Amino acid sequence: MIFPESRKENTNEEIGGRVVADPYRWLEDAGQPEVRQWIAQQNEYADLQLRDPRQKAFAEELVKDFEVTTFSNPLYVNGRYFYMERRPGEDQMALYVRYGLEGEPIKLIDPNGRKEGNTVSLDYWVPHHEGNLIAYGLSEGGDEMATLRVFDVQRKTDLPDEIVRCRHSSICWLPDGSGFFYTRNPRPGTVPQNEEHLHVKVYLHELGSDPGSDELIFGEGRPKDDMISLSLSLDGQYLTIDVSRTWTENEVYLYDADKKTTKPLVAGIPAQFSPRFLADKVLMFTNYHANNYRILSAPLEEIYKPIEQWKEFVPEKEHVLSFVDVTKDKILLGYLVNACARVIVLDHDNKETGTIPLPEYASMEGVTGMETESEFSYGVESFAFPWISYRYDTVADAYSVYRKTESPIDPDQYETTQEWFVSKDGTKVPMFIFHKKGLTLGAVPTILYAYGGFGSNQEPSFMRNWIPWVAHGGIFAVANIRGGGEFGEKWHLDGIKDKKQNSFDDFIAAAEYLIAQKYTDREHLGILGGSNGGLLVSAVEVQRPDLFKAACARVPLTDMVRFPKFGMALRWVHEYGDPSDPADLARILMWSPYHNVKNGTEYPAMLFMVGDRDSRVDPLHARKMAAMLQSTNKKNPVFVHTEIDAGHGAGKPISKVVDAQSLILAFFGNELELL
C-alpha cells in the first residue's frame, strides 16, 4: 500500500518528567503551505480509492432518502406556530410561521442562497413571548461562531441590531421585549490567540443600542473555560446563570435585575443543578444525593435559602430522569428506561396527570413549549421510522399527530432488538441491534457504533444515513457504553479520567459479543464513532487490531497529550484528565491513540472524516493519527478526508452530508464486503 508521503521528524518533548515523541507535530498548523499540500494530496488519494461505482450508488440512494421535507416541532407562541423546515432541493433548514393551525406557511428566515454552497446555517432562534420578535444566530462554513440578529415578524425584516461572536448564545428576552440577556464570545485580538471560543460572558442588550456598549452582567475575572446558560423568571426579576467548567458539576448564580446584584445560589457542591422557573416557585433539577436525578423546589420569595433546605418535589426513582420541561400548566418528566424514553406529566402542584404514550425502542426529542403557554409539542422517532411531531391539544386534553415525515423508507421491513453483554469487569451493558427482518446471520457485514462520553445518552434515532447499509443486508449496532449517562451519573463517571479504559473495554466487549452470537465475524465487522466517539474508535483500533476489519473516526481526538492546547478543548480536561499533571499524563499515555501506534503492526483499514473549519475538535488530530498509521500499515488502507468549508457537523448543507456519508458507506461496503 503506497500512501502520500508524510515527513517523519525526530520531535520529542519532556512533559512532567517523561519524554513524549511527536513525529508529526508539523501537521498541526493547517495554515502552512506544506500542510495544505498534504491535505490536498490525502484528499486526492481518498477520492481516487473511494469514489467508485459503489460510492456513486450509495450517493444516489441517499439523495432519494434525503429528498423529503424535514421539519421541527412547532413552537406555539401567542397564536402563532413557529417551526423549522427544509424542503426537497434545499440544503438548510429555514424558519417559518403559521398564524393558527391551518394558516398558510410564511417563510421568515432562510439561510439558503446566502452563499455559494449553502454553507450559511440558522444555528438558533428564540422568540419573545408575544411572538413579534425573534433573536436568532447565523453562522457560516460550520464554524458555529454565529452573528446574532433580531427579526421583526410583522414587518418580515431584520432590525438594525447585529451582535457578532455569539456562538450558541443563551438568550432570555425581557418581559416587555425591550431587550434580552445573552452570552457572547470575545472579539478576536481581545484574548490570547486560540482562546476565542472561550471567555464567554453575559450581557444585557437593549434593542436599538450599540452592542459595544451592552452592559456586562457576569463573567469579568471568571475562568476562561466557563460554559454558561441562562434562564429568567417570568416577571423578569431573577436571571439564573448556570456556570460549569466540568461535565460533572456546576454552579448557579442569581442576578437580581431590580437590585442589579449577583449572588451565588448554588456553589461548591460536587453535583449538577439546573433551575426551572414556575410562576410561584423555582424547581431545581439535580443529581445532588441522587445518581438518577431528582427535583427540589423552593418558593420564589425563599430562593436564596441553602439548597439543603429546599423541599424534595420529585424524588429519585429507579430509572434516570433525563429531562424536565415546563409549560404554563404542566411539568414533563422524561425518564430513560434502558436507554428508551418514558414520559410522566405533572401539574404545577406536583399531581401526576398521566403519561405520554410512546412506542417500543423510541426516543422523545425536542419538547417544544413556552413557560407562558399551555400548548406544547414533541417529536418521536426510532431506528426505522422518521420524526413524527405530536401536539398537546389543550381543549381535548389529548395528544395527537401534528405532522409525519414522508419517507420512501418502509419501517415494516426492519427490526430492532436490545441485547445485553458483559464487559471486562463484569458490568452488564445494553446494545441496540438494527437490521432487515428475516436476515440470515453468520458473517453479516456489521457496523458497531458508540459514543461513551460527557454523560451523553445514545437513544434510538432514525437511521436515515444508514438505511442504505441495512437495506443491502448489513447490521447496525449501537452500544450504550460507560461514559454516557443512560444509567445515571455513576455510569458517566465510570467512563472518564482514570476510568476511561472502561469505555474502551465496553466497546471491545460489544464487538466480541456480536462475533460470539454469530451476527458477524472479524472479517465483516467495522466500528464507527464521531468526536469523543472518534477517540473511542481510534483507541480501540490501536488496542485490538485483531478484532475487526475496518474503522471510521469522524472528527476525532487522537493526540491526548496536546489536546487542551487547541480551541475549546481545555474544557475537556475534566473528562479525560489534564496532561500537564504528571499522574494524569501517565494514565493518558496508556490509551492515547496517537502515542500507542506500534511500528510494524498492521492495523485495520481506517477512514478519518474531518472538516477544515471544525472549531470543536481541531482536524490536526486526524492528520497526525492518519500519518502515524500510514507509516506502519503495509496492506490495509488509511484515508483522511478533509471537507472544505465544513466544521464539526452542525449546519452542514445536505449536499455535503450526502457526499461525506456516501464515502463512508463505500469505505465500509468495500472493506466488509457488503453485497
Q: Retrieve residue 11's grid coordinates.
A: 520531535
How far apart are the C-alpha atoms of 501 and 526, rounded to whole Å?
Answer: 20
From the candidates 407, 524, 648, 662, give the one annotated as an active-site residue: 648
Specify whether 531 is catalytic. yes
Q: Please give the single-letter amino acid code of residue 445.
A: P
Which of 343, 316, 347, 313 is CA-nearest to residue 331?
347
Specify whether 197 is catalytic. no
How far apart are the C-alpha atoms of 278 and 264, rounded to whole Å?
Answer: 20
How far apart are the C-alpha atoms of 380 and 378, rounded to whole Å?
Answer: 7
The total number of residues shown for the chain amounts to 675
Residue 463 phi/psi, 5-degree rounding, is -100, 45
How far apart are the C-alpha atoms of 51 and 366, rounded to whole Å?
Answer: 36
How far apart are the C-alpha atoms of 555 and 553, rounded to whole Å?
Answer: 7
DSSP conformation letters of 641-674: EEETT--SSTT--HHHHHHHHHHHHHHHHHHHT-
Q: Retrieve residue 399's grid coordinates.
A: 395528544
From the candidates 121, 531, 615, 662, give the one annotated as an active-site residue: 531
Q: Retrieve residue 224's grid coordinates.
A: 476562561
Q: Are 252 and 241 in contact (CB under 8 A)?
A: yes
Q: Retrieve residue 431's grid coordinates.
A: 446494545
For cell 422523545, the residue is 364
Q: Please give the single-letter amino acid code of residue 288.
A: Y
Q: Are 162 and 633 in contact (CB under 8 A)?
A: no
DSSP conformation letters of 51-86: -SHHHHHHHHHHHHHH-S-EE---EEETTEEEEEEE
Q: Retrieve residue 481's grid coordinates.
A: 457504553
Catalytic residue annotation: 531, 648
